[in-house]
């Protein structure tokens, strides 16, 4: 079964950006961004970021800079909440009026066209009919509608609107909110209210018929109570819920002897079937376990990459001096017949050995 997704716009939706952002050091998350991504994954949604990056086409920064900014966003989200993981980043570097010829085209990926959403849906096997698009500009809403998704326009008064946010559009969003947390409340309310309303409607429809049958049977029994006592009541005439509801209207008007006569003939109440497990809840739990596994693997990789460095210049010099000590000892052995020369060489060897020890001590301190 395909899972739904939430397609977030990047600039001025997940991060603060008033123009073209190509510097990873300037990335700043919008308030509530980490919680929003984590909340989306907890609800069973995949998380995809779709962003127009015409700064590449205009020569302001490279595609590598876009990747660096996206990587910085991933790091900041995980620092805020461990389960705030983005499944995929999609961006369009093309523009019809690009200053760089290689990027000068009217690409299907560029919003308001739905190319990025459709590409991510194909790669991640997503159900677009149950998916959402959240962004700050009309082009985000147009792209979402064209892809068959529901849409939310975020107009945050704490952020300076981007030029794209003021563009005209004939397409209206399904919801308009003033913050990212409010957008997630709309999505969560819609996701949880749908199945509950359907179940409540089914239960209400099934409960109306037994109530009407109980009232009708009660009125008939009150009119001919002696006959009911002598004649057995057929099981088909007694509603399945009647044994469980003797006090809702029958016990006040029907004699006790009548209830005792009817009770043995009624079938046992049906057992309530076990609750069904919802696929979205299972997917949410599996997603949480996968996030934890990814975090553990990430930590192991970091530990393997950060190998201890045991090299120092002091230790290198100590090794060289130690070799000289051995050479002096060998030379002193060759001149063993000259006591004066041997003493001088041994004194030099001791001096060098002391220097070796001092260098090793310095190496440990560094």
Beta carbons within 10 angstroms of residue 124's beta carbon:
14
Asked if residue 297 belongs to a domain, the reply is no
Report the C-alpha gap between 236 and 228 in whole angstroms. Answer: 15
Asked if residue 302 belongs to a domain, the reply is no
Asked if residue 292 belongs to a domain, the reply is no
For the chain, what is the mean pLDDT?
A: 79
Q: What is the pLDDT of residues 142-187, one digit of tens each?
A: 999 999 999 999 999 999 988 888 888 889 999 999 999 999 999 9
* Interior angle at CA 201, CA 252 and CA 39, nearest 5: 125
Residue 168: active-site member: no
Confidence of residue 195 (pLDDT cuts 50, 70, 90): low
Residue of 11, 87, 156, 291 marked catalytic:
11
Confidence of residue 250 (pLDDT cuts 50, 70, 90): very low
**Residue 131's CATH number:** 3.40.50.1000
Per the CB < 8 A criterion, the answer to whether 73 and 15 are in contact is yes
Report the C-alpha gap between 27 and 361 in whole angstroms. Answer: 44
Report the C-alpha gap between 137 and 12 in whole angstroms. Answer: 9
Report the C-alpha gap between 163 and 171 in whole angstroms. Answer: 18
Q: Which residue has the higher pLDDT, 235 or 118?
A: 118
Q: Which residues pair with 331 in a beta bridge?
A: none
Asked if residue 270 belongs to a domain, the reply is no
pLDDT (0 to 100) of residue 361: 84
Tokens of 83: 């389960």
Distances (CA, A) of 166 to 10, 17, 155, 169, 299: 17, 15, 11, 9, 43
Interstrand relation of 46-52 and 150-154 (parallel, antiparallel or unpaired): unpaired
Asked if residue 321 belongs to a domain, the reply is yes
The least confident of 79-88, 247-256, 278-287 is 247-256
Asked if residue 305 belongs to a domain, the reply is no
The least confident of 83-92, 134-143, 247-256 is 247-256
Report the C-alpha gap between 68 and 308 in whole angstroms. Answer: 27
Shared domain for 320 and 246, answered yes or no, is no
Q: What is the pLDDT of residues 109-122, one digit of tens each?
A: 999 999 999 999 99
Q: What is the pLDDT of residues 300-357, one digit of tens each?
A: 676 665 545 556 777 788 888 888 888 888 887 787 778 888 788 888 888 988 888 8
Q: Tell me the mean pLDDT in the region 240-254.
A: 42
Domain boundary among 124, 148, 178: 178
Alpha helices, DSSP H, located in the chain? 33-42, 54-57, 63-80, 115-124, 138-147, 180-223, 225-230, 250-253, 256-262, 279-305, 313-334, 339-365
**The domain containing residue 50 runs over which residues?**
5-178
Per the CB < 8 A criterion, the answer to whether 57 and 93 are in contact is yes
Domain boundary among 265, 292, 322: 265
Shared domain for 18 and 84, answered yes or no, is yes
- Helix, strand, or coil (residue 2): coil
Q: Tell me the mean pLDDT in the region 77-93.
A: 96
Shared domain for 117 and 158, answered yes or no, is yes
Shared domain for 122 and 150, answered yes or no, is yes
Which residue is associated with the tokens 């599996």? 286
Shared domain for 78 and 168, answered yes or no, is yes
Residue of 9, 87, 136, 156 marked catalytic:
9
Shared domain for 252 and 160, answered yes or no, is no
Shared domain for 118 and 63, answered yes or no, is yes
- Local structure of residue 10 (DSSP, 8 states): S
* Count of residues in the chain: 366
Domain boundary among 116, 145, 178: 178
Distances (CA, A) of 150 to 61, 136, 173, 346: 33, 14, 8, 89
Q: What is the CA radius of gyration of the chain?
A: 38
Q: What percent of the chain has pLDDT over 70?
A: 70
Shared domain for 64 and 153, answered yes or no, is yes
Report the C-alpha gap between 236 and 100 in whole angstroms. Answer: 82
Centroid of chain to Cα 113: 25
Shared domain for 254 and 341, answered yes or no, is no
Asked if residue 304 belongs to a domain, the reply is no
Q: Tell me the mean pLDDT in the region 95-107.
A: 96
pLDDT (0 to 100) of residue 214: 36
Shared domain for 82 and 210, answered yes or no, is no
Asked if residue 27 belongs to a domain, the reply is yes
Residue 11: active-site member: yes
Per the CB < 8 A criterion, the answer to whether 119 and 90 are in contact is yes
Shared domain for 333 and 245, answered yes or no, is no
> Who's near 281: CB < 8 A, 6+ residues apart?
44
Phi, psi angle pair for 244, to nearest 5°: -85, -10
Shared domain for 86 and 160, answered yes or no, is yes
> Count of domains in the chain?
3
């Amino acid at each position: 079964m395909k899972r739904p997704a939430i397609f977030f716009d990047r600039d001025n939706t997940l991060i603060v950006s008033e123009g073209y952002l190509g510097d990873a050091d300037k990335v700043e998350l919008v308030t509530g961004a980490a919680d929003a991504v984590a909340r989306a994954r907890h609800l069973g949604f995949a998380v995809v970021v779709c962003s127009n990056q015409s700064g590449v086409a205009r020569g302001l920064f490279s595609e590598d800079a876009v990747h660096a900014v996206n990587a910085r966003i991933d790091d900041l989200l995980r620092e805020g909440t461990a389960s705030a993981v983005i499944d995929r980043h999609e961006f369009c570097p093309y523009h019809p009026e690009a200053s760089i010829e290689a990027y000068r085209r009217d690409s299907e990926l560029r919003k308001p066209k739905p190319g990025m959403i459709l590409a991510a849906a194909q790669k991640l096997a997503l159900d677009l009919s149950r998916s959402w698009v959240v962004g700050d500009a009309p082009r985000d809403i147009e792209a979402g509608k064209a892809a068959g998704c529901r849409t939310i326009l975020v107009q945050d008064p704490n952020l300076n609107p981007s030029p794209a946010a003021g563009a005209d559009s004939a397409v209206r969003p399904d919801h308009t909110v003033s913050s990212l947390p409010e957008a997630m409340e709309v999505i969560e309310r819609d996701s949880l209210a749908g199945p509950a309303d359907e179940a409540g409607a089914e239960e209400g429809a099934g409960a109306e018929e037994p109530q009407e049958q109980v009232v009708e049977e009660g009125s008939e029994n009150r009119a001919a109570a002696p006959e009911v006592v002598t004649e057995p009541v057929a099981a088909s005439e007694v509603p399945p819920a009647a044994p469980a509801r003797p006090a809702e209207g029958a016990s006040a008007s029907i004699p006790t002897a009548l209830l005792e006569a009817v009770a043995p003939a009624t079938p046992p109440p049906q057992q309530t079937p076990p609750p069904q497990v919802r696929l979205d809840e299972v997917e949410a739990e599996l997603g949480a376990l996968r996030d934890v596994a990814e975090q553990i693997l990430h930590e192991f990789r970091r530990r393997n990459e950060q190998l201890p460095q045991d090299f120092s210049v002091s230790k290198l010099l100590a090794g060289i001096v130690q070799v000289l000590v051995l050479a002096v000892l060998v030379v002193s052995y060759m001149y063993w017949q000259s006591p004066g020369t041997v003493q001088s060489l041994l004194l030099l060897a001791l001096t060098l050995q002391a220097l070796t020890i001092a260098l090793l001590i310095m190496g440990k301190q560094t």
